A and B are shown apart, each in its own frame.
Chain A
Amino acid sequence: MRDTIHLVAVYSKTTMRAWFQYRVDAFLKSLAVFLREATGIIVVFFTLLKFDTLGGWNIYEMLFLFSILFLTYGIMIIFFTGLRDFGKTVRDGSFDRFLLRPRGLLFQIIFVNSDWFAALGHGGLGIALFLISAGKAGINWNVQNALYYVFTIAGGVLIQGAIFLFIAVLNIYLLQTDSLKEMLYWNMRKFAGYPISIFHKIIQTLMIYVMPFAFVNYFPAQYLLRKDDMNSYPEIFMYITPIVGIVMYLVAYAFWRFSIRYYKSSGN
């Protein structure tokens, strides 16, 4: 156990060193990610200056909804960069090296790399939005709600991690999954910044049952904000984000364990 902690510390130190080798460049890249992700928020800000509310949600409530999405992604990418880039690891054959080392595969994938620019860009944006909106969105920050928030963030991280793990496993069978990830993950994520109640029923179904982004930010935000549009969904949806996260992760993990036996190296 102590050995494991030591290994994690060494890995973290080397990845940090690698990513921040060129400081100005690192700062510029993080800033660029931050601004790119903030585009949608700037648009919502200007739109709501004109229209006040979107489907009953005011600007602070919207920013709070966005903040959960970015915060969970920022935390998730610290751990799951290796899975995001797993296709490359499989294609260039460097996955074979992992197989030879005396540690768990997933352990190595999780700790040998972290995209710190994405983590700082997304996470920094999430924290900034949280600080702006948390006080003004009318949330009562008692102990119960604060605990709920912590668990729901963890659940949101697990949900997205499970999706990344699942798509990573597909690489073992398909080798090339970048377009699939683009279609499944990034395209659906575009809808996630907004209250899903404003979208077509098909999109709502996809967001709840297929790519469950609704459990990452919409339903948790509803628990804390209690907007009227929650009436069209079962009340239980507001409470199960951590469970959805754990179940999805376990299923994805089982799929990983099952598939890894079929791994065939692409290299020589």
Chain B
Amino acid sequence: MRLSAYYAYAKKQFLSRSAYRFDHLMGILSTCLQFFIFYEIYRTLYGSKESVDGITMSMITTNFVLSLGLSAIFSPNDYFVPGRIWDGSISTELLRPMSFKGRMIAENVGDACFNLIFKFIPVLLIAIFTTGMEKPAGIGNMILFLISAILGYGVLWTISFLVQMTAFWLINIWSLITIKDVFVNVLSGMMIPLWFMPDWMAGVIKFTPFASIYFTPVQIYLGQLSISEIVFKCGVQLFWTVIIYALGNVLWNKGQKKLVVQGG
């Protein structure tokens, strides 16, 4: 019975997204353009070279299609909590007989399902027909890729959750969210394949959660990791999800106590 309420929220979100068709087409166009810019840049960089450091052009293409595609699916709503604090509706929402965070996850998952079907698949098809993308290294890799992608979503979602919690203290968190996006975009491998990061930078990234979001699933898809490495890297994804969620939760509990709603 409880679960069906969350399902209803997810479904509602899914359906409400279908109302904005033009915005949606713009989103697909924007993701495709971003992909083609990276594709053309790397085609120019590679020139006639077969591979650079053992990385072939088709692996680069795969990295961009998958990470841009996953990011198009994930895109958690960074303004879910801040928006409700600004207009004060959070005070009534907290009174509802269901978990606020559960509802937040439900709506985000509804969003993600919509994006998966109507954004990721079109972009994927366009990319497959116009450029050379690698097939998954095997059936097992494909299944593990899916699991790791879901864990990657967990990492990105909790980062968003943590940043949103600061809205209890800061009225305007647009700046913070924008800066968060810069870190995610650069360090996750979505805009530059992490294979080509200089060693010192790779050393820094190793200790951040960003590579767990898109790059781990991509590496699994391409068959670059052995089974023990896959288990380790998925463990790292899980580790970050739990740690960041716990941090966010501390802020969530503190924030509710000092919640100041303007007006009433």
Binding site for B on A (CB under 8 A): 25, 28-29, 31-33, 35-36, 38-40, 42-43, 46-47, 49-51, 54-55, 179, 182-183, 187, 190-191, 194, 198-200
Contact = CB atoms under 8 A, between A and B. Distances in A.
Given A39-B191, A46-B192, A54-B45, A187 B178 contact: no
Contact of B40 (A40, A50, A51, A199): A199
Contact of A36 (B44, B181, B196): B181
30 contacts: A25-B175, A28-B172, A28-B175, A28-B176, A29-B174, A29-B175, A31-B175, A32-B179, A35-B179, A36-B178, A36-B181, A36-B182, A38-B182, A42-B186, A46-B196, A46-B197, A47-B41, A47-B196, A50-B198, A51-B45, A54-B44, A182-B26, A182-B30, A183-B26, A183-B29, A190-B33, A190-B37, A198-B40, A198-B43, A199-B37
Interface residues of B, number: 31
Contacts of A191: 33, 37
A22 B181 CA distance: 23
Nearest to B33: A187
B192 A43 contact: yes
B22 interface: yes
A93 B107 CA distance: 35
Contacts of B192: 43, 46-47
The list of the 3 closest CB pairs from A to B, nearest first, reads A32-B175, A28-B175, A32-B178
A33 B175 CA distance: 8
Interface in B179-219: 179, 181-182, 185-186, 191-192, 196-198, 201
Contacts of B36: 200
Given A28-B172, A36-B181, 14 more contacts: A25-B172, A32-B176, A35-B182, A40-B191, A42-B186, A47-B192, A47-B196, A50-B52, A51-B45, A54-B45, A182-B30, A187-B33, A198-B43, A198-B44
A55 B46 CA distance: 10
B224 interface: no
B93 interface: no
A89 B181 CA distance: 30
B3 to A, nearest CB: 37
Interface of B: 22-23, 26, 29-30, 33-34, 36-37, 40-41, 43-45, 52, 172, 174-176, 178-179, 181-182, 185-186, 191-192, 196-198, 201
Nearest to A27: B175
Contacts of B52: 50-51
A190 B175 contact: no
A198 B41 contact: yes
A54 B175 contact: no
Contacts of B43: 198
Contacts of B29: 183, 187
Given A29-B175, A35-B178, A183-B29, A46 B201 contact: yes
A219 to B, nearest CB: 19
